[in-house]
Each structure stands twice: as C-alpha cells, then as structure tokens.
C-alpha cells in the first residue's frame, strides 16, 4: 500500500513538471510567433514614419556645417543615432527566451525610445532616467489655446530655473495636433498625432490651419543637439468658434452618352468632389424631363432621385427618352453630429435630340438652330496691372426682315474656381451691340464661365465657354517689362 502511494506521488510530480515545461514551451512559441510582427513594426517606423524628433536633433547638430557637408552630416547622424538615457534592465525573461530582435539601433525606434539589448534579443524601450538627465531641454508645459481675430494662439513654457539655463546651443520646438470630428468632445475618438510645425519660439499663431467642426489637442517637444525629453502633456481640448458651413455644391458636372437600349438612352453624369469643412457623407442626384407647360415655359413633370456613395463621383441614368431636354442636379450631403448639412444643387441641362439618328426636333427645342455659335477666346490682355479677355462669337440674325444682325447681346461671366481662396468670387454682366467683347476684372489663377445670350430672361444658356487665366509669372515672361510685380 505504501509503495503504491509513493508511485502515485511520483506520477503527480511528473505531471506537474510536464505541465510547467509545456506552459514554458507554449510561452516561447507564442512570443516567437510575435517576432515577425514586432520586427515589421520597427522597420515600418524607421522606413515609413521618419522620426521628427530625431530629424530635428540632427538638423541642429549639423546646423553650422557648410552646404557641401551638411547633407552627409545629417545622413550619418540619422543612421548612427545614439539617443540619451539609460535602458531598463530586462525583467521579461519570456522575451529573452525567444531572442526577439526588434531593432538594431536607436534610429529604428520611435520617439524617445532606445534600442535596448537583453540577452540574445533587443526591443525598443523608454529610457529610465530621461527626465533627470542634465543637459537636455525641459519638457514644455502647454497653455490653454485661445482664439483671437480668426487665429488660434498657442503658448508654452520653455522651462524655468537651472534646467532651462543649463541647455547649451539652439533649441527648437515641434508642435503636433490630434483631432476628431463632431459637436462634442470625446477623447476616445481622437486620431493620431500629426506634426504641424517647427519653430524656435514659444508662441505661434495658427491661421487657416484648423478646420471648423473639429476638436483639437496640441502637444510640444523641445529639442537640442543633445536630444529631447519628449512631448509635453496635451493641451486642454479646443474647437474653433465658427461652426462648419454647409458643403459647397459638386463641381464640373458633365454628361456623357453611354448607349441606346430599346429606344431609350443611358447617360453617365460625372462631377468633382467639392472642398468642404466637413467630409462628404453622400451625394443625391435628381433628374427630370422638361416639357412645355401651359404658359410656354419648360416644366418638369416628374423628378427622379437617387443616392450615391461618397466614394463615387458618377452615376448612370437609364431610360431617358429621345428628342427630349433633361434637367440634372447633384447635391452634396455632409453630417455633423446627428444633423445633416446640404449644399445647393449643381445643375446641367442635357438634350437627347439626335442621339438615335432621328432628325425630328421637339417643339421646345426648335430655337436651338438660333443659338449663338462660335463663342471662343481670342486673347488674354495684360495692361497696367489689369487683365482682360477678348471673346468673340458668330453674329445672329435678329429675326426681322432685311437680314440685320442681333441688335444687342447679353454677356455674363462668373468665377468658378481660383487657386488662392482669398480671391473674391465675381459675378458680372454687360451688354454689347458687337459680336466681340472684352471681359474685365479678371484675376490670376482663376477660371471663369462665360455665357452670351440674346435675352436676359434665358433660363438655358445659348452659349458657354470656360476660360482660365494663367499666373502672374506667365505674363511677366510674355510681356517682359519690369512694371509687372508678382506677389508670389
């Protein structure tokens, strides 16, 4: 009986030992399976996400070098970087057992982390004494952001006392932001940190850099040639006073005929996504067939509509009738909180006449034969810091006997796009008795839509032309005079 009990104890001991060995083996296998992911992450940091802290430090170390050697100095600094601080003593024998080699040098580690070696492996770790090392700039303290005159002012301290005075050489600051969209602040929704700017001052004014409808947090790091202690604690959350505006209407509507099927037509309506304070949630497309009503005007008898995904800037519209005029519209829809913001509708007319080889013309389109033809741009003229564009078109008979031409034309032009957002959007009109005209009050780097009609009351433009004005440098080269001064 006693021998049997002894055998049972030995068996239980062996089972316990086997369980421990099995758990250790499983731990090593799990850790080993993570090695490729850890190594890939380290490589991703070093290759795809250049460390702004290290780059700034190397720029300061090579600041006094001449132009010929500065580039080489920076490259050597980044490749052979040695960050300040003492690596922690490894307290993770599991990592040592797996021999994980996540890095080979400090330059492969993000932020203030160092490549710390333990046993036969290495990982990126935060130094133990980074906040107490002498000779490094103090960690700045962010103040609460303030909005003044359409600009956001950010301030931070540069350290006080002996810590700040003991830092030799130049000190630069890196400012980063993170944000999320929405009317209420939710820390869990904040995105990644993004670099905003680099400066040698402790105060910056941000103008036109923050978008309405977003909550922001800021942080700053102080860097010298000796290194950095890392980023400050984030600032209190901040949102611009001006709320988001409704999105602009879609741009550059265009209709392309696609195919005929059983006597009906399919077209493709295309547009460009507008620039908006808010992301586009979706588009809404409307189309209707226009027929002549009792008052002689073109009216819509039935309006169709369809929702289009935000990632799609086109739609195929089927079953359009031949020899008809269609009115097509596209609207941008964005979401802010629980509410939706809608743009005005961008619109375009499309005529299916002649699409099926039929010469018959519906009554509402008979006057098409008298539409103004040959509208074109002849020349853009620069004169005494002013821009004009000469346009011309074919004369149109007035409709009276005697073959006289149209007595008066109505010219309308308006801004549709400018490269610089501070340019005013203009909407101008004029009359002329000639079949030529000079458009005035034009701006560099702007595009204009021009219409010439025979009446002010035209709902459908009788002609259309888009002209684009080149930049100032273009005219300076062409005119070759010193009178032209370009701001940029």
Q: Do the domain assignments include residue 131?
A: no
Contacts of 26 (CB under 8 A, 6+ apart): none
Contacts of 123 (CB under 8 A, 6+ apart): 38, 95, 100, 102, 103, 115, 116
Give the mean pLDDT of 328-343: 91
Q: Do the domain assignments include residue 486?
A: no
Contacts of 264 (CB under 8 A, 6+ apart): 318, 319, 320, 321, 322
Residue with the larger pLDDT of the pair 297 and 127 = 127
Question: Considering the chain, what is the average pLDDT of its residues?
Answer: 79
For residue 454, what pLDDT is reported?
85
- Asked which of 205-209, 301-305, 426-430 is least confident by mean pLDDT, the reply is 301-305
Give the count of beta carbons closer than 10 Å to the beta carbon of residue 387: 19
SS3 sequence of 282-346? EEEEEEEEEEECCCCCEEEEEEEEEEEECCCCEEEEEEECCCCEEEEEEEEEEEECCEEEECCCE
d(CA 213, CA 242): 8
Q: Do the domain assignments include residue 65?
A: yes
pLDDT, tens digit, 9 for 90 and up, residues 105-118: 888 888 889 998 88
Within this chain, do residues 335 and 414 fall inside the same structural domain, yes or no? no
Give the count of beta carbons closer than 10 Å to the beta carbon of residue 249: 18
For residue 486, what pLDDT is reported?
76
Give the mean pLDDT of 120-140: 87
Boundary residue ending a domain (318, 339, 365): 365
φ, ψ of residue 35 to 5 degrees: the values are -55, -50
Nearest Cα residue to 347 out of 434, 288, 428: 288
Q: Do the domain assignments include residue 19?
A: no
- Which residues form the domain of 394? 371-479
Locus of tokens 């107490």: 132
Within this chain, do residues 385 and 314 fall inside the same structural domain, yes or no? no
d(CA 422, CA 437): 27
For residue 92 the two structure tokens come to 């993770």
d(CA 70, CA 58): 10
Q: Do the domain assignments include residue 347?
A: yes
Within this chain, do residues 258 and 357 fall inside the same structural domain, yes or no? yes
For residue 417, what pLDDT is reported?
86
Boundary residue ending a domain (339, 365, 391): 365
d(CA 417, CA 274): 11
Give the mean pLDDT of 316-344: 89
Q: Are 130 and 164 in contact (CB under 8 A)?
A: no
pLDDT, tens digit, 9 for 90 and up, residues 169-218: 889 999 999 999 999 999 999 999 999 999 999 999 998 889 899 999 99
- Sheet of strand 376-383, all strands in order from the earlier edge strand to the far edge: 376-383, 386-392, 436-439
d(CA 273, CA 333): 11
d(CA 423, CA 417): 9
Within this chain, do residues 111 and 176 fall inside the same structural domain, yes or no? no
Does the pLDDT of residue 362 top 60, yes or no?
Answer: no
Boundary residue ending a domain (303, 332, 365): 365
Give the CATH number, domain containing residue 341: 2.60.40.10
Within this chain, do residues 182 and 113 fall inside the same structural domain, yes or no? no
Element (H, E) at 18: helix 2-48
Within this chain, do residues 378 and 464 fall inside the same structural domain, yes or no? yes
Q: Do the domain assignments include residue 4?
A: no
Within this chain, do residues 62 and 119 fall inside the same structural domain, yes or no? yes
Within this chain, do residues 285 and 359 fall inside the same structural domain, yes or no? yes
Within this chain, do residues 360 and 383 fall inside the same structural domain, yes or no? no
Give the mean pLDDT of 426-430: 88
Residue with the larger pLDDT of the pair 483 and 263 = 263
Number of structural domains the chain divides into: 4
Rg over alpha carbons for the chain, rounded to the nearest Å, is 35
Question: Helix (H, G, I), strand (E, B), or coil: what is residue 41?
Answer: helix
Q: Do the domain assignments include residue 101?
A: yes
Within this chain, do residues 172 and 85 fall inside the same structural domain, yes or no? no
Within this chain, do residues 378 and 458 fall inside the same structural domain, yes or no? yes
For residue 301, what pLDDT is reported?
60
Within this chain, do residues 344 and 281 fall inside the same structural domain, yes or no? yes
pLDDT, tens digit, 9 for 90 and up, residues 144-157: 999 988 899 999 98
């Amino acid at each position: 009986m006693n021998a049997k009990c002894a055998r049972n104890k030995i068996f239980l001991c062996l089972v316990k030992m086997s369980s421990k060995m099995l758990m250790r083996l499983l731990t090593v296998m799990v850790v080993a399976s993570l090695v490729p992911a850890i190594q890939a992450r380290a490589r991703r940091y070093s290759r795809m996400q250049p460390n702004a802290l290290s780059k700034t430090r190397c720029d300061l170390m090579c600041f006094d070098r001449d132009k010929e050697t500065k580039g080489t100095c920076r490259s050597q600094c980044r490749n052979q970087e040695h960050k300040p601080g003492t690596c922690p003593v490894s307290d993770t024998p599991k990592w040592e057992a797996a021999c994980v080699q996540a890095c080979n040098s400090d330059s492969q580690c993000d932020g203030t982390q160092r490549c710390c070696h333990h046993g036969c492996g290495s990982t990126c770790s935060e130094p133990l004494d980074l906040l107490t090392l002498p000779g490094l700039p103090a960690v700045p303290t962010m103040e609460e952001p303030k909005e003044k005159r359409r600009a956001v002012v950010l301030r931070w301290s540069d350290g006080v006392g002996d810590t700040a005075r003991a830092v030799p050489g130049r000190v630069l600051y890196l400012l980063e932001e993170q944000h999320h969209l929405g009317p209420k602040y939710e820390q869990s929704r904040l995105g990644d940190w993004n670099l905003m700017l680099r400066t040698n001052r402790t105060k910056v004014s941000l103008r036109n850099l923050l978008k309405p409808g977003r909550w922001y947090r800021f942080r700053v790091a102080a860097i010298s040639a000796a290194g950095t202690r890392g980023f400050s604690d984030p600032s209190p959350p901040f949102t611009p006073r001006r709320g988001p505006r409704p999105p602009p209407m879609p741009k550059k509507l265009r209709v392309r005929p696609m195919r005929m099927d059983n006597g009906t037509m399919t077209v493709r309506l295309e547009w460009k996504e507008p620039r908006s304070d808010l992301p586009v949630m979706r588009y809404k497309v409307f189309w209707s067939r226009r027929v002549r009503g009792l008052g002689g005007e073109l009216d819509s008898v039935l309006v169709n509509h369809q929702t289009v995904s935000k990632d799609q800037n086109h739609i195929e519209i089927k079953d359009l009738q031949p020899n008809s005029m269609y009115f097509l519209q596209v609207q941008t829809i964005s979401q802010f909180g629980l509410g939706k913001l809608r743009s005005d509708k961008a619109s375009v007319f499309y005529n299916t006449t002649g699409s099926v080889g039929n010469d018959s013309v519906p009554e509402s389109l008979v006057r098409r034969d008298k539409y103004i033809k040959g509208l074109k741009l002849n020349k853009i003229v620069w004169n005494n810091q002013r821009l004009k564009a000469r346009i011309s078109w074919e004369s149109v008979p007035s409709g009276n006997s005697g073959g006289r031409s149209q007595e008066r034309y109505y010219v309308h032009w308006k801004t549709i796009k400018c490269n610089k957002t501070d340019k005013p959007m203009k909407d101008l009109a004029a009359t002329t008795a000639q079949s030529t005209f000079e458009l005035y009050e034009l701006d560099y780097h702007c595009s204009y839509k021009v219409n010439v009609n025979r009446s002010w009351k035209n709902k459908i433009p009788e002609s259309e032309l888009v002209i684009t004005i080149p930049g100032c440098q273009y005219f300076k080269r062409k005119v070759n005079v010193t009178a032209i001064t370009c701001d940029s």
